[in-house]
Structure 1
Amino acid sequence: MAQEPRVDVETRATSLRSSLTEEQAEHIADALGDQGVWFATPRPRTIDAPRPDHVWDLVGDQPHQGRTATGRATVYLAEGHAALTRPLILADGFNYGPSDLDALWSHFNAGAPAFLDRLRGMGIDVILLGFDQRQTYIQANAAVAASCVRRAIQERQGDLPLVVGGVSLGGLITRYALARLESEGVDHQTDKYFSYDTPHLGAWIPLVLQQLAYLHESVQPRSDGPGHAGLIRSPAAQQLLWGWVESEDYSGPVTSASPLRAEFLDDLRGVGSFPMRPYKLGLANGAGDGAATGLEPGTPVFDLHHDPLQLTARVQPDMGELQNVGTIKFGAPLWVSVTSRVPAFDGAPGGTLDSWGRVADAIGLPIEERLRAGCFVPTVSAIALAQDPLQWPADLHRDLADLPKDETFLDAFHCDPANSAHGSMSEVLVDWFLEQLAGW
């Protein structure tokens, strides 16, 4: 049996923090900056959102882990509609804190694609679904999505079926919600399900950046809110990340480090994995030709000299044994992080996230433009390649042009011609999606 990919950390003592003097800890804290949650994604409001026709306050239709999640939906009726008639539910994705539905409108409707305006022009009523805690358990927010589906059915005039899906984690939340409703014998009346750059198999944040986020909290705990690692340790992150570590000193397997991921995947299989009734559509911000990006495995991205501190962090190397991804030195090495049998995710085709750039900006380090962003949702994950999500794919660079239908869990999918930012509105993807709805 093949050995699981893993990370190994060497420190002088049982932990890096106990290896450091107070002066050294202050050097690291100063060097790593102090700008909130590193991996949270603010969505700037580029246009004014119109006033919604209706606002729904939503409560999950069942608790998870003893807690009931809440959320909100804004309803924008199509041109010429006086009541909800052809509902399309679009769920928000992975981030920290509550959804900003005005910002969500701006994000989806900005630029040439004008996605939401075009939907409404087709006679489709748009329901933007947000969550009060985007970082909580997927099952909990799926209960909010289920309540949204029930409310849409209740409010709808006539009997036209629903279209339900979401961007990023929102596609996974609605996937679980619809599958769970089917497993309970509830008619969700949904004809089409869609996911927009959704991590069906998993998402990726460089392991060394996860470690540095924990390290910063270790040397400079925050008292006024979440620290840099606040999003990484959240339930949703543990459930969706292909590789996860629990601290800067963790040594061990990275695909099974969190029991929350295995538990979620068990729950997902328990409700049927995917909803069976809807026609399932997938959109990928990543390219489908399998070509590698410009992030060469093992490339040093950060080489920080903050006398006497030296900190190095590297693009994820490609497989191998004990491959260096990060080092902290005060003269002699105090912390060394290495990975074994981990694929070069950073340079894989997929929807990109400027993880390296955000950390560089927080630290105040110059960074080459080509190194700012790496793969966040591999294309093979966004198109739901038919494989076990707990196993990393044999080939992240699979050419998907002629993929047999039985090798994806979706009924149809479309990829961007070139890798684009995760969740960004691509005119190519929007055009394809609207074509899929044209006969609805």
Structure 2
Amino acid sequence: MAQQPRIDVETRTDEVAQSLTSEQVQRIAAALGQQGVWFATPAARTSDAPRPDYEWDLVGDKPHQGRTATGRANVYLAEGHSALTRPLILADGFNYGPSDLSELWAHFNAPYQKGTPGFLDQLRAMGIDVVLLGFDQRHTFIQANAAVAVSGILRTIEERQGDAPLVVGGVSMGGMITRYALARMETERIDHQTDKYFSYDTPHLGAWIPLVLQQLAYLHESLQPRQDGPGQAELIRSPAAQQLLWGWVEDENYSGPVTTASELRQEFLDDLRRVGWFPMRPYKLGLANGIGDGTGLDLPPGTPVFDLNAGPLQLTAKIQPDLGELQNVGTVRFDAPVWTSATSHVPAFDGAPGGTLDSWGRIADVVGLPIQDRFRNSCFVPAISAIALARDPFQWQSELYLDLRDLPKDETFLDAFCCDTANSPHSAVSKPLVEWFLEQLAGW
């Protein structure tokens, strides 16, 4: 039986803090950077999205844990359409706060090749109406936002003229939200009238944010507590993060298993099984920003990325080592007291093939640390997670570097998938992915 991945911390931060003067704490907090939610993607604010033909306010069709989620949709009709006729629903993904549907449009319609229309404009030229689905709290429970997706699907059916089937899916967590929504509708015998489901770099088996960076977010927050706004670790502690991440820690002092640290992930996976795991009726398509030949990133396991020496604070953080026992991933020294973090039986996720996130780069920029360009980006959604490799969500990481080019059909929960030709940024729009997806829709 495989050893359970875990993390161990020596010297709790509250013990360290007790040995520091208030002036030292302030100096350390200043060295660690400013307030703000770590790992959240700020809006670009450069959108030139067209005005939608319709805007819908949406309320979840049922509450989850006593709370009803809300959201909205922007509808962009296809060329020549005066009403919703052939709808494709694209749900927004994981982030902090409300969706910005104009930015979502700008992202997916940005030119990926000179002289070629954007992805969404190509859909509209094919006679496909685009419905962008957003959520007022992207970081809340997946089941809660799935209820918003159910309302969006039902509103689309109500507004549609004719009986053309729907295409429903989403980017990143949006693919999980719509996966759950469609499966739940089938279980409850609600006709979703969906012919195709798609997921765009969705972490079907889980996503990865380096454990040591999660800890540093908590550590920063403990030394510089939240005041008027959310703290650095707000996104990491959110329900959505707990449900999506393969490995999660609850604070900077946590020692124990990392795959089962959150009950919310186990509860969500149990709930997903209850509704059928995947929707059965639609043809299921998957797009992965990771390369399909098993080639990873140039991130040698255990390599130091940060090495800060700022007065009373010395900080080291490393690329995730590959397995082993009590492998050091981070050290923070406050004059004499030392906080160290070590992982056991955790594979080299950072360098795995997959859609990348500039997790290391973002933290370096916030804290003001020097960083080599090659260390800025690490794996966020492994390719085998995006193509829904048919494995247990807790027991799949040994195949992170699997060659997917000749994968048998029964080795994935999807009906068809496409990997990018390079390990591209998570949710990036590329020619190989767009052209493959448009081919899948050509006969619809």
TM-score, normalized by length of structure 1?
Answer: 0.98
TM-superposition CA deviations, 1:335-394 (whole Å, max 9, x none): 010000000100000000000000000011121100001000000000000011122422
Identity percentage of aligned residues: 76
Residue 84 of structure 2 corresponds to which residue in structure 1?
84
Q: AA paired with 2:144?
A: A
Residue 122 of structure 1 corresponds to which residue in structure 2?
126
Q: AA paired with 1:5?
A: P
Residue 362 of structure 1 corresponds to which residue in structure 2?
366
Structure 1 distance, partners of 2:362, 2:343, is 23
1:145 aligns with 2:149: yes
1:216 aligns with 2:220: yes
1:412 aligns with 2:416: yes
Change in 2 beyond 3 A, CA 1:15/1:251: farther
Cα offset for 1:418? 0.3
Judge which range, 319-328 or 14-23, deviates more: 14-23
The correspondence of residues 96-115 of structure 1 with structure 2, limited to 5 A, is 96-112=96-112, 114-115=118-119
Change in 2 beyond 3 A, CA 1:261/1:80: same
1:384 aligns with 2:395: no
Count of residues in correspondence between the two structures: 440
1:179 aligns with 2:187: no
1:401 aligns with 2:393: no
Does the 8 A contact of 1:43 with 1:107 survive in 2?
A: no
Does the 8 A contact of 2:47 with 2:102 survive in 1?
A: no
Does the 8 A contact of 2:355 with 2:426 survive in 1?
A: yes
Does the 8 A contact of 1:19 with 1:334 survive in 2?
A: no
TM-superposition CA deviations, 1:137-175 (whole Å, max 9, x none): 000000000000000000000000000000000000000
1:283 aligns with 2:276: no
Does the 8 A contact of 2:13 with 2:252 survive in 1?
A: no
Cα offset for 1:308? 2.5
Cα offset for 1:22? 2.7
Structure 2 distance, partners of 1:24, 1:396, is 42
1:267 aligns with 2:260: no
Cα offset for 1:47? 4.0
1:63 aligns with 2:63: yes
Structure 2 distance, partners of 1:236, 1:353, is 17
Does the 8 A contact of 2:32 with 2:220 survive in 1?
A: yes
1:427 aligns with 2:431: yes
Structure 2 distance, partners of 1:305, 1:43, is 32
Does the 8 A contact of 2:322 with 2:348 survive in 1?
A: yes
Three-state SS of the structure 1 residue aligned to 2:350 is helix
Structure 1 distance, partners of 2:138, 2:428, is 18
1:198 aligns with 2:189: no
Three-state SS of the structure 1 residue aligned to 2:254 is coil
Structure 2 distance, partners of 1:390, 1:25, is 39
Structure 2 distance, partners of 1:24, 1:340, is 32
Three-state SS of the structure 2 residue aligned to 1:346 is coil
Change in 2 beyond 3 A, CA 1:308/1:16: closer
Residue 6 of structure 1 corresponds to which residue in structure 2?
6
Change in 2 beyond 3 A, CA 1:12/1:278: closer
Structure 2 distance, partners of 1:186, 1:306, is 59
Does the 8 A contact of 1:83 with 1:157 survive in 2?
A: yes
The correspondence of residues 329-344 of structure 1 with structure 2, limited to 5 A, is 329-344=333-348
Cα offset for 1:237? 0.1
Structure 2 distance, partners of 1:414, 1:43, is 28
Does the 8 A contact of 1:300 with 1:314 survive in 2?
A: yes
Does the 8 A contact of 2:248 with 2:261 survive in 1?
A: yes
Change in 2 beyond 3 A, CA 1:431/1:46: farther
Structure 2 distance, partners of 1:277, 1:394, is 31
Residue 42 of structure 2 corresponds to which residue in structure 1?
42
Residue 25 of structure 2 corresponds to which residue in structure 1?
25
| Long gaps (5+) in structure 2 | none
User: Cα RMSD over matched residues?
Assistant: 1.2
| Long gaps (5+) in structure 1 | none
Judge which range, 323-332 or 333-342, deviates more: 323-332
Q: AA paired with 1:71?
A: G
Three-state SS of the structure 2 residue aligned to 1:238 is helix
Residue 300 of structure 1 corresponds to which residue in structure 2?
304
Change in 2 beyond 3 A, CA 1:424/1:319: same
Cα offset for 1:75? 0.2
Does the 8 A contact of 2:165 with 2:195 survive in 1?
A: yes
1:54 aligns with 2:54: yes
Structure 1 distance, partners of 2:94, 2:148, is 15
Structure 1 distance, partners of 2:325, 2:222, is 28
Change in 2 beyond 3 A, CA 1:14/1:49: closer
Structure 1 distance, partners of 2:294, 2:130, is 34
Q: AA paired with 1:98?
A: P
Cα offset for 1:20? 4.0
Q: AA paired with 2:216?
A: L
Structure 2 distance, partners of 1:21, 1:176, is 50
Three-state SS of the structure 2 residue aligned to 1:191 is strand
Three-state SS of the structure 1 residue aligned to 2:293 is coil
1:317 aligns with 2:321: yes
Structure 1 distance, partners of 2:392, 2:382, is 15
